[in-house]
Structure 1
Amino acid sequence: YFGDGTGVGLRKDDTELKAAFDKALIELRQDGTYDKMAKKYFDFNVYGD
């Protein structure tokens, strides 16, 4: 059990995929897509802010 929250599993050595994933998350939050998806699919704020 890893506790409460949300996570994504990636290989430790796959730094290129991690960088792409991080960039995509930042862009989703900046352009408002995250908020639209969160309201549709979640009844809580994944980021907790």
Structure 2
Amino acid sequence: MLTKSPGNSSRYVPTKGLYILDTTTQTIDALMRLDISAGVDIAINRKGKAVK
């Protein structure tokens, strides 16, 4: 996964990403627990829409 570097739109910075194509409620629950306990920044999207 590549994200744009802040302040410089022409430079891309590699980031780590995990793509889970077929999510279940258990998968989302586990990722949310990881987010809270480990301080990991996790963004969960389901078919292009953010899950809150």
Tell me if both proteins adopt one fold, taking TM over 0.5 as the criterion.
Answer: no
Q: Hey, which of these two has a bigger chunk of helix by percent?
A: 1
TM-score, normalization by structure 1: 0.35
Q: Tell which structure's C-alpha radius of gyration is larger.
A: 2
* Greater fraction of residues in strand: 2
